[in-house]
Structure 1
Amino acid sequence: MPRSFRPPAKEVSDMSTIIFFLIQCSILAYAFIGGVFLAFADFIMRSLVRTSGHGGVEAMQVINREVFRWVFMALFLGMAAVSLVIAAYGAFALTDTAGTLIMLAGLCYLVGCFGVTVFFNVPMNETLAVMETSDAQTRTYWLDIYVPRWTFWNWVRTTACAVSAALLLFGFVRMN
């Protein structure tokens, strides 16, 4: 196996091959999830607001139903579980700066991405889901409450994913 794809000999006792590959895959997964959120934060929400009539509300209602497809949800939910493992590994298996960075990467995803989704974005999605698209109150909620708040929290999720990926990468590099 090439040197870049295996842990150094001194680290083999400290880090199993499974953890080694888990960390590498998690760096990518954090970046992929952050990329989805970045697209929404940067241009999708702006585009939905600019649709005529109630098109943006209807499109977002559909998006919020379709997001439950297995690829995104498996990655999003799976990374919550993996982040617990990563945080625990950083906290208990490593004792230096690498451990702190790795622990913070897992916690950042759990709080800043997963927690924000559960406590802020999902409740707004559930409120929007039951609203009638042609109702004037829906349009007011959409423009005055949903879009600015949802987008703000989406930027938090985007940033948390980017920070998680960076922290995990820096921690991983410090291990070697």
Structure 2
Amino acid sequence: MSPLVFMLLQLSILAYAIVGGVFLAFSDFIMRSLAHTGGVGGVDAMQVINREVFRWVFMALFLGMAVVSVFILVYGAMHLTGVSGKLIMLGALLYLVGCFAVTAVFNVPMNEALADMDLSADATRDYWIGTYLPRWTMWNTVRTLACALAAATMLFGVVALAQSQS
């Protein structure tokens, strides 16, 4: 394995953990805090968060790791063998399915629905409390766990790979 690919695998572990940490913050206390704002304060704040997330480092990291994960899967299928290769590829797959796909299929559509809602409408408050908060947070927790598992399995795979090459 080239030193460049080995370094990419190590940086992927860190990136998966950072993305998962952002999601953990939302599942652990941000969503709960927004729920306690009363009225539609949480809706207003989440609408702003959902607009701002596209302008910052997080989105580049989130999307970039999807591309890197595809590369790791292809590289792994062609060049990695044994338990270490399987763990490395599993880490990439966990990120792609449990983080990236879950975001696209579940969280983004809820964010888009929330973005179009009128803060003064009763339907907005009902959607926020009855649908958005519980479902978005549940799927966000799935993303959190997927990122943590992706980082852990990739870490175990890289360690096993390094041990087998020494």
Q: TM-score, normalised by structure 2?
A: 0.96
Structure 2 unaligned spans of 5+: none
The separation in 1 between residues aligned to 2:76 and 2:94, in whole angstroms, is 13
Give deviations 1:126-166, integer Å, cap 9, x for gaps.
00000001211100000000110000000000000000000
**Larger RCO: Structure 1 or Structure 2 (Cα < 8 Å, ≥ 6 residues apart)?**
2
**How large is the Cα RMSD of the aligned pairs?**
0.7
Secondary structure of the 1:67 match is helix
Greater fraction helix: 2
Residue aligning to 2:62: 76
- Equivalent positions of 1:30-109 (< 5 A) are 30-109=16-95
Equivalence for 2:113: 127
* Alignment partner, residue 100 of structure 2: 114
**What is the aligned partner in structure 1 of residue 7 from structure 2?**
21
Contact residue 90 and residue 101 of structure 1 kept, 8 A: no
Equivalenced residues, count: 162
CA contact (8 A) 1:29 1:79 kept: yes
* Bigger radius of gyration among the two: 1
> Following the alignment from structure 1 to structure 2, what is the Cα–Cα distance between the partners of residues 46 and 71?
24
Q: Give, in whole Å, the separation in 1 of the partners of 2:133 and 2:38.
A: 15
Q: Is the 8 A contact 1:33 1:161 kept in 2?
A: yes
Whether the 8 Å contact between 1:89 and 1:99 is mirrored in structure 2 is: no
Identity of counterpart residues, as a percentage? 67
